Amino acid sequence: MKRFSALLFLGLVLSIPTYAQEKINWMTFDEASKATQESPKMILVDVYTDWCGWCKKMDKETFTDDKVIAYVNDNFYAVKLHAERDDQKFTFKGKEYSEASMAKTMRVTSYPNFVIMDATMENITQLPGYRQPAPFIEGLEGIVKRFTK
């Protein structure tokens, strides 16, 4: 019986993925700006709205995928930016913005849209539209390779 219990415990421990993280570490734009000054890293900005069905699908299916969570957390500061919210202000590069005005400044016109910024907080590209986990990671990997080597 002791041997069976030990084998069962070992099986349970080995079945837990070592890379598993619970969720993406979402930040505000202001938090990511401060974080990248302390420890430079690319920024992934998820520009969304409350009424966007594809945005909700990304949250439910893509952003809960273990591989997406691990890749995003390892390679980016992740930011949620509500494209229609004007109630909270933050300062970026000496100017005051709301989330809505920042989305306009980034020239986002469709949702979901993923703005990729380098560690100096300069926009380098956008990935518009819904993406399943594997294609989303592939798109991000291509950007990371292209802009960090």
- Looking at the chain, the whole-number percentage of residues with pLDDT higher than 90 is 78
Distance in angstroms (rounded) separating the CA atoms of residues 20 and 22? 7
- Whether 17 shows a pLDDT value over 90: the answer reads no
- 């986990």: which residue's tokens? 133
CA-to-CA dists, residue 103 to 22, 38, 39, 44, 141, angstroms = 28, 24, 24, 13, 24
Q: Which domains does the chain have, with CATH numbers?
A: 25-148 (3.40.30.10)
Structure pTM? Answer: 0.83
Question: Could you say which DSSP state residue 110 is in?
Answer: S
pLDDT at residue 8 tops 50:
no
Identify the band that residue 24 occupies on the pLDDT scale cut at 50, 70 and 90: very high
